[in-house]
Amino acid sequence: MAQINKLGVIGAGQMGNGIAHVAALAGLDVVLNDVSADRLKSGMATINGNLTRQAAKKIISDEARGQALGHITLTDSLDGLADCDLVIETAIEKEDVKRKIFHDLCAVLKPEAVIASNTSSISITRLAACTDRPERFIGIHFMNPVPLMELVELIRGIATDDTTFESAKEFVRRLGKQVAVSEDFPAFIVNRILLPMINEAIYTLYEGVGNVEAIDAAMKLGAHHPMGPLELADFIGLDICLSIMQVLHEGLADSKYRPCPLLVKYVEAGWLGRKTQRGFYDYRGPKPVPTR
């Protein structure tokens, strides 16, 4: 089984910085890549902030915090990932963007390295087919926020070999997370169940059954969910929610997965949730205010 010592992470957004955070804490060398130098800087600032909070709460020691930061290097070029043992792609949930990344990555990455995608919904078999190593390609799907969530889904493509699967399992265990194995179907397990629920909450808002506050309170207090579905949608990112619903709708060809027109409208407005400071809530003031 291939030992993973050096990890590459493509995309320094909320998932990329979370994966870099937990891998560095587990003692792996991490190279974090993004197309934008500003994104790399803000990703690193987020990691630093989250590690500092964990140290302040005595979840980790100051020494562990310092060591983790020392394990992370930044690069704005895929060449910087050439000698990684495993590279996890965490760019936006658009298949054409991911395909281009894998095409360019394969040209520079050592042949024995494993490539993974953190995609929320896209077929692993299809992504693997655009690489030079479908047998060493796998879905490693972390949950958000990565430092706090226990689960990682592992998804084998049709060609993924046993060595790659076992290495990925060992990697996830080393990060202290639990594995759930999913077959390669649209949106896998967690999002196959979670996203239709969120989409239904948006329909509930669209049809005027309740307002934002009522819907979130109903599910928090009435079903004991830690976050209301609209608050959670803002947290995930409304662009990501829409992409997942589109993959479910197209992949399963069932109208029950039709993305709510209100979700489409928010994304078209650029109101993507927390990351753009506006979604079902407006985050620009001292406390989130419902937008409906």
Ligand X SMILES: NC(=O)C1=CN([C@@H]2O[C@H](COP(=O)(O)OP(=O)(O)OC[C@H]3O[C@@H](n4cnc5c(N)ncnc54)[C@H](OP(=O)(O)O)[C@@H]3O)[C@@H](O)[C@H]2O)C=CC1
**Which of 124, 130, 117 has its CA nearest to residue 89?**
117
Stretch (H or E) spanning 124: helix 124-128
Cβ 122 to ligand X, closest distance in Å? 8
| Closest CB to ligand CAA among residues 85, 89 | 89
Residues forming a β-bridge with 31: 8, 73
Q: How far apart are CA 19 and CA 175, in angstroms?
A: 9
- The site partner of 91 among ligand X, ligand CAA, none (C-beta below 5 to 8 Å per kind) is ligand X
| Closest CB to ligand X among residues 3, 126 | 126
Confirm or reject binding of residue 182 to ligand X (CB under 6 A).
no
Active centre residues (catalytic): 120, 141, 153, 191
| Closest CB to ligand X among residues 10, 51 | 10
Answer for which of 21, 39, 133, 177 binds ligand X (CB under 6 A) is 39
Q: How far apart are CA 164 and CA 135, in angstroms?
A: 7
Select from 14-22, 127-135, 168-176, 199-207 the region that touches ligand X (CB under 6 A).
14-22
| SS3 call for 99 | helix
38: which residues sit within 8 A by CB, 6+ positions away? none
Cβ 240 to ligand X, closest distance in Å? 5
| Footprint of ligand CAA (CB under 6 A) | 18, 50, 53, 57, 120, 143-145, 147-149, 190-191, 194, 226-227, 232, 236, 240
Q: How far apart are CA 41 and CA 23, in angstroms?
A: 18
Answer for which of 48, 75, 144, 211 binds ligand X (CB under 6 A) is 144
Confirm or reject binding of residue 152 to ligand X (CB under 6 A).
no
Confirm or reject binding of residue 36 to ligand X (CB under 6 A).
yes
Q: How many residues bind ligand X (CB under 6 A)?
A: 27
Cβ 231 to ligand CAA, closest distance in Å? 9
Answer for which of 4, 154, 236, 248 binds ligand X (CB under 6 A) is 236
* DSSP of 6-58: EEEEE--SHHHHHHHHHHHHTT-EEEEE-S-HHHHHHHHHHHHHHHHHHHHTT
Strands 114-117 and 137-142, sheet pairing: parallel
* DSSP of 162-216: HHHHHHHHHHHHHTT-EEEEE-SSTTTTHHHHHHHHHHHHHHHHHTTSS-HHHHH
Question: Which amino acid, 266?
Answer: Y
Cβ 191 to ligand CAA, closest distance in Å? 5
Confirm or reject binding of residue 119 to ligand X (CB under 6 A).
yes
Cβ 88 to ligand X, closest distance in Å? 9
Instruction: Give the binding site for ligand X (CB under 6 A).
Output: 10-16, 33-36, 39, 90-93, 97, 101, 118-120, 142, 144, 236-237, 240, 275
